[in-house]
Amino acid sequence: MGPRAVNQTCDNLDSRAALLQASGPIFAEKGLEGATVKEIAEAANVNVALISYHFGGKEGLFRAVIDSMGRERLEAAERALQPAKSLEEFRLRLRMFMEEFMLAHLRNPHQMKIIHRDFDGGHPIAVDAFRGVILQMFMRVKSFLEAGKNSGFLRHDLDADSCAAMMFGGMTNCVRMNRVRKEVIGVSLDDPDYLAKFVDQLVKNFCEGAFVRGEQ
């Protein structure tokens, strides 16, 4: 491959990455239907024709944004949620997963907005695009909890499916309410110390519960 071909390849990769980065906030703000290829191309500072070249059009770009977002979260879950050999390791891995999940959405708020604008709204393309990546992550968490049961770290009667659903719902809602939390009570998950305490409490509540032991 000659220098010209190498430069062309790099330019293509750069423009593709620019479109993925620029389109996320726009899709979050306006939705798939409201966003236009013109404004996305302008935000990415590339020719509008490159959207079709790289993604086959706006819908393909939307799917690619979701796929990229989902793969990052899934890879992080795979790293954190390896089978634990001890209760302490189980706690540590659970904490790693929760903290990374919340940090990712705090640092990229458009991801959460995309989920709740188009996926919760039942947009067919969004539902189809999300189904694979979200289901895979959910199953990874469920598998981790099942392994914890089998190792004797968790109660034998724990329902891993329901527990994983509550875990995702709780973390997601905590991030969504962060702005309200900051305005009303003056604390924010953007503060690293507060986030660390918050995640520690989540893990403690999950692993130990809130009741004093021995109480009925």
Tens-digit pLDDT profile for residues 196-215: 999 999 999 988 876 765 54
CATH of domain 62-208: 1.10.357.10
CA distances from 72 to 11, 60, 91, 111 (A): 23, 18, 22, 12
DSSP 82: P
* pTM score, whole prediction: 0.80
Examine the pLDDT at 114 and tell me if it is beyond 70: yes
What's the average model confidence in pLDDT over 145-170?
92
Per-residue pLDDT of 41-77, as tens digits, reads 999 999 999 999 999 999 999 989 988 888 888 888 9
Q: What is the mean pLDDT of the chain?
A: 86
Selected residue with higher pLDDT from 205 and 7? 205
Among 131, 123, 152, 5, CA closest to 66: 131
56: left (phi over 0), alpha (psi -120 to 50) or beta: left
Per-residue pLDDT of 8-18, as tens digits, reads 444 566 899 99
Count of residues making up the chain: 216
Per-residue pLDDT of 83-100, as tens digits, reads 999 999 999 999 999 999
Q: How confident is the model at residue 3 (pLDDT cuts 50, 70, 90)?
A: very low
Q: How confident is the model at residue 149 (pLDDT cuts 50, 70, 90)?
A: very high
Q: Is the dihedral of CA 114, 119, 121, 126 positive or negative?
A: positive
Q: How confident is the model at residue 131 (pLDDT cuts 50, 70, 90)?
A: confident
35: left (phi over 0), alpha (psi -120 to 50) or beta: beta
**Per-position b or e across 29-64, b if 16+ CB within 10 A of its CB:** eebbeebebeebbebbebeeebbeebbeebeebbbb
Q: What are the structure tokens assigned to 157, written together? A: 């009667």
Task: In whole angstroms, give the CA distance from residue 91 to residue 151.
Answer: 13
What percent of the chain has pLDDT above 70? Answer: 90
Selected residue with higher pLDDT from 209 and 182? 182
Report the chain's C-alpha Rg in angstroms.
Answer: 20
The structure tokens 């239907």 sit at 33
User: How buried is residue 155: exposed, middle or buried, by Cβ count under 10 Å (0-12/13-18/19+)?
Assistant: exposed
Task: In whole angstroms, give the CA distance from residue 78 to residue 71.
Answer: 10
Task: In whole angstroms, give the CA distance from residue 50 to residue 154.
Answer: 51
Q: What are the structure tokens assigned to 156, written together? A: 């034998």
Domain boundaries along the sequence of the chain: 62-208
Per-residue pLDDT of 22-38, as tens digits, reads 999 999 899 888 999 99
CB contact at 8 A, 15 and 43: no
Q: How confident is the model at residue 5 (pLDDT cuts 50, 70, 90)?
A: very low
3-state secondary structure labels for all residues of 113-156: HHHHHHHCCCCHHHHHHHHHHHHHHHHHHHHHHHHHHHCCCCCC
